[in-house]
Structure 1
Amino acid sequence: MYCKKIKTKSGQVKWECVADGPRDPATGRRKQITRRAKTQREAKKRVQDAVRSIDEDKIDENSGKHITFDQVASAWMNVYKQTGIKRSTVRIREKEVAILNRHMAKTPIANITYSMYQKFINDISPDYARTTVQGVNTSAGMIFQHAVKDRLIKESPNRDVVIPKKRKTVEEIELEPIEQRFLTNDELNEFLNAVLQHGQELDIERFYLLAFSGMRSGELCALKWSDIDFDTNAIRITKTLYNEDNNMRKYELTPPKTNGSIRSFEMDNKIMQLIKSHYRRQKKIKMKYRSELEHDGNFVFCRVNGYPYIQKNIVTRMSRLLEYTNIEKKATPHIFRHTHISMLAEAGVDLATVMERVGHDDPQTTLKIYTHVTKKMKKDASAKVSNLYENALSNINL
């Protein structure tokens, strides 16, 4: 090791020590490690620590202090996009990275400490939903792991970070009971009656299918006739429809949300007869308007030109139909998924079968709805027994 006094550009006098680092495994050459400090002893120690870090941990802390967070994030995103991940998920990650870059884009990756990162999480928590903050933290973790693999940092600074929990107000708790997530039997019947009386083309087929299958609206839009087996009354789910800008001609068919979402299930015979009638009508329409057919993807629910209906169309139709009901819940097509879980629970179907049928969407939500309905059934059972044997109970002398 060689040390000497130097004068910096600002006029300060410092000690500079230089030593050979470990050989580069690719070139075999040694890289000189230079560090400065106010004293010779401190400069020597900094060089020794740097050499040991590269030798033992293979961490080049000097590079880590010159490569910024946004540079690492960009490199990670390029790799992440090649993993076959769904475009919708990539878009979510891009939004999360944008939040990260607004706060630490030009910070050297090696300078981001646990305390600094925890402060960042604390700072953004009041401005975003907790699920969003969790997503941001997940993206940050993958970016930091990319830096670890590149030997820019030793470990991820977001390890063991705490995501603050937002305390709900009494009003929020009272306004968000589990019952808000699904339609009761009366509400479902009211909505389906509105469908029958005021529904437009394909409303009956689509909303009845959503209610009695528990499939996602994207899965419904992606259904092809090859997914329907009229002999066994089975429907197969292997894909979902993704549409970034609501342009029907720019749709994508992607794998379902999770591996568990790939599934087949048996449908009620009346629903299948409804779909079969639609199949016959669609064949006649294709023959009549074949000159207008631009695209033939064999979709169950498609326009005259052959392009599939997108999720936004179902949302719009549902909003219109809700106007004919007294339902006050904030209902979107996804509520039928939760409603189907409650229907299965009330029918006495076991939890494992329920999760398999709906494709194990959100196990927490599924469990909450299932537990709520089954508990209510137990209470109702007690009340029914009391009513049935009211006379016998009235004879008890207390």
Structure 2
Amino acid sequence: MYCKKVKTKSGESRWECVADGPRDPATGKRKQITRRAKTQKEAKKRVEDALRSLEDYQIDEQLGKKILFEEVARVWLETYSLTGVKRSTIRIREKEIKILNRYIAKIPISLVTPAKYQKLINEIAPQYARTTVQGVNTTAVMIFKHAIKDKLIKDNPANDVVIPKKRKTVEEIENDSIEEKYLESFELEEFLQAVRAHGLDLDLERFYLLAFSGMRSGELCALKWTDLNFNTNEIRITKTLYNENNNMKTYELTPPKTEGSIRTIEIEKEIIDLLHSHYKRQTKMNMKYRHEIEEYHDSNFIFCRTNGYPFIQKTIIQRMQRLLERTSIEKHATPHIFRHTHISMLTEAGVDLPTIMERVGHEDIKTTMKIYTHVTNKMKKDASDKVRTLYQNALSDINLKIM
């Protein structure tokens, strides 16, 4: 290090100290560190502090060449799991990390360049849905941010990555119709007719409630009798049931998908009466079985087995497939279709968009808007057809005048 007195642009006298810093990792050249101060001692101290900071960072850079991506991902996931996210979300992140690990698990974190990472994204894009690729990228961004915080890398290689867009085939475009995402009124009536005629125990209550509430199947499975108000015909939705292994005893109650999913909705009196009848039957069954069953699970679930444990979403899916086979409905329908069907029902009833979103617990307007717009446009077309039918004679007279 050498120091000398210099004049600033304003004409003031300052001490300037200069020292060689660590080599640039890219060029191998040394960088000179220059600092100024009123005294030589202060200028030296500033240079030494700067050198110490750079040397500490350089040591971490070397460490980044030793620590593999999979190790950083593992440590990040452990921390991420402590942030209060749902177990279902953690499970998704685990799957996304598995995809990343297939390509860069054994690569040192500091050697994952933007070009290398872009190549990874380009390779997985044809294999998965674009939303999956976006999810993988989101997870990668968070892992690299964690590495930056630990000073293992300087920059995030996932920044500004391009997520390739898949060009849909003609067949995909033809099959990706909005009508496939919800049941038309006649299809819903046919399905509910099948429920009434062929439904097994609790099918009537569950499928009518799904259709006329728009709630998610996980929210339905998590319902307790304390969530239902028989006096006001309201249901309070505050939780969802998560069951990773489809084992009735290892279920978990978690907060709903989003803050907006916590809501109170009013249900048609006929369905409340249906549930009230179920409540009376269940109360009698509970009195019988709670003493006969050694491990009776007394948690007050609305839809539960004789041992008190709640039914899981898989049960609803299986029951729905059984009933669909007894209809002429050809759509690929899962219980989630009732949410979209409910949106279409409310739209046809003239309910405004914000109210619909609040009722079904949607914070993202895109999902609701697609169905709302489609049904609204369809209603406009139907209105035109109805006018044409009602005033066919008057319209025909126009043609006579033209001729």
Give the TM-score normalised by structure 1: 0.87
**Aligned residue for 2:343?**
341
Following superposition, the deviation at residue 108 of structure 1 comes to 1.8
Change (3 A) 1:262 1:56: farther
How far apart in 1 are the matches of 2:137 and 2:25? 35
Equivalent residue, structure 2, for 1:371: 373
Alignment of 1:9-158 (within 5 A): 33=22, 43-45=28-30, 54-55=53-54, 60-158=60-158
Matches within 5 A, 1:151-190: 151-190=151-190
Question: Deviation of residue 294 (structure 1)?
Answer: 1.0
Which stretch shifts more, 145-154 or 337-346?
145-154
Query: Is the Cα contact below 8 Å between 2:23 and 2:29 reproduced in 1?
Result: no
Of the structure 1 ranges 57-66 and 262-271, higher mean CA displacement relative to structure 2 is found in 57-66
Alignment map for 1:179-258 (pairs within 5 Å): 179-258=179-258
Shift of 1:64: 2.1
Change (3 A) 1:159 1:44: closer
| In 2: Cα distance, 1:358 partner to 1:375 partner | 21
SS at match of 1:265: strand
The one-character-per-residue Cα deviations of 1:69-120 (angstroms, maximum 9, x if unpaired) are 1121111111001011111111110111111111111222222221111111
Which amino acid in the other structure matches residue 384 of structure 1?
A: K
Match of 1:287 in 2: 287
State the shift of 1:58 in Å.
5.3
Quick one: which amino acid aligns to residue 297 of structure 1? S
* Structure 1 residues 56 and 337: CA distance shift in structure 2, 3 A: farther
In the alignment, is the contact (CA less than 8 A) between 1:65 and 1:111 conserved in 2?
yes
Q: Which amino acid aligns with 1:222?
A: A
- After superposition, the C-alpha distances for 1:186-209 in whole angstroms (9 at most, x for unaligned) are 110000000000000000000000
Partners of 2:28 and 2:242 in 1: CA distance: 57
Helix, strand or coil for the counterpart of 2:253? strand
Deviates more, 1:271-280 or 1:385-394: 385-394
What is the SS of the residue equivalent to 2:316?
helix
Name the residue aligned to 2:13. none
How big is the shift at 1:52?
Answer: 7.3
Aligned equivalents of 1:350, 1:380: Cα separation in 2: 19
Q: Compute the displacement of 1:67 (Å).
A: 2.0
The alpha carbon displacement at 1:361 in A equals 6.3
Distance (whole Å) between structure 1 residues aligned to residue 52 and residue 184 of structure 2? 62
153-162 vs 209-218, which deviates more?
153-162
1:239/1:375 Cα in 2 relative to 1: closer, same or farther (>3 Å)? same
Stretch deviating more after TM superposition (143-152 or 187-196): 143-152
Cα distance between partner residues in 2 of 1:177 and 1:139: 31
Q: Which deviates the most, 110-119 or 339-348?
A: 110-119
SS in 2 for 1:241: strand
Instruction: Kindly provide the amino acid, as one letter, of the partner of residue 138 in structure 1.
Output: T
Distance across 1 between alignment mates of 2:25 and 2:146? 29
Bigger drift between 384-393 and 203-212 goes to 384-393
Report the Cα distance in structure 1 between the residues aligned to 2:300 and 2:336, rounded to whole angstroms. 25
Q: Kindly state the Cα deviation for residue 391 of structure 1 after the two structures are TM-superposed.
A: 2.2
Aligned residue identity for 1:235: I
One-letter identity of the residue aligned with 2:71: Q
Determine helix, strand or coil for the equivalent of 2:241.
Answer: strand
Deviations 1:273-296 (CA, angstroms, capped at 9, x unpaired): 111111111111112222226101
| C-alpha distance 108-394 of structure 1, shift in aligned 2 (>3 A) | same
Cα displacement (A) at 1:169: 0.6
| Distance in 1 separating the partners of 2:356 and 2:390 | 31
Go from structure 1 to structure 2 and tell me whether the alpha carbon gap of 1:68 and 1:353 turns closer, same or farther (over 3 Å shift): same
Whole-Å separation in 2 of the counterparts to 1:57 and 1:209: 62
1:173/1:43 Cα in 2 relative to 1: closer, same or farther (>3 Å)? Answer: closer
Q: Does 2:325 match 1:323? A: yes
Q: Deviations over 1:329-377 (max 9, x none)?
A: 0111111111001101111111111111001065322211111000000
Q: Which residue of 2 aligns with 1:359?
A: 361
Q: Contact 2:23/2:30 (CA < 8 Å) preserved in 1? A: no
Q: Secondary structure at the match of 1:212?
A: helix
3-state secondary structure, aligned to 1:126: coil
Where in structure 2 are there 5+ consecutive unaligned residues?
2-18, 34-49
Partners of 1:256 and 1:262 within 8 A in 2: yes
Q: What is the CA–CA distance in structure 2 between the aligned matches of 1:54 and 1:214, rounded to whole Å?
A: 57
Amino acid in structure 2 at the alignment position of 1:296: D
Gaps of 5+ in 1: 2-18, 22-32
Q: CA RMSD in A?
A: 2.3
Give the Cα separation in 2 of the matches to 1:35 and 1:213: 63
Number of matched pairs? 365
Give the conservation status (yes or no) of the 8 Å contact 2:20–2:32: no
Q: 1:257 to 1:202 in 2, by over 3 A?
A: same
**Partners in 2 of 1:129 and 1:79 — Cα distance?**
28
Any idea what SS the aligned residue of 1:289 has?
Answer: helix
Q: Contact 1:184–1:339 (CA<8 Å) still a contact in 2?
A: yes
Residue in 2 that maps onto 1:312: 314
How far, CA to CA, are the matches of 1:394 and 1:57 in structure 2? 88
User: Following TM superposition, by how much is the alpha carbon of 1:35 offset from its aligned partner in structure 2, in angstroms?
Assistant: 8.0
Aligned with 2:125: secondary structure?
A: helix
2:298 corresponds to: 296
Give how far 1:130 is off.
1.1
Matched to 1:375, the amino acid is N
Asked if the contact 2:289/2:296 (under 8 Å) is kept, the reply is no
Q: Is the 8 A contact 1:34 1:47 kept in 2?
A: no
TM-score (norm 2): 0.86
State the AA in 2 paired with 1:122. N
Contact 1:57–1:154, Cα closer than 8 Å, also in 2:
no
CA contact (8 A) 2:20 2:30 kept: no
* Separation of aligned partners in 1, 2:57 and 2:126: 38
Q: Do 2:65 and 2:109's aligned partners in 1 also have CA atoms closer than 8 Å?
A: yes
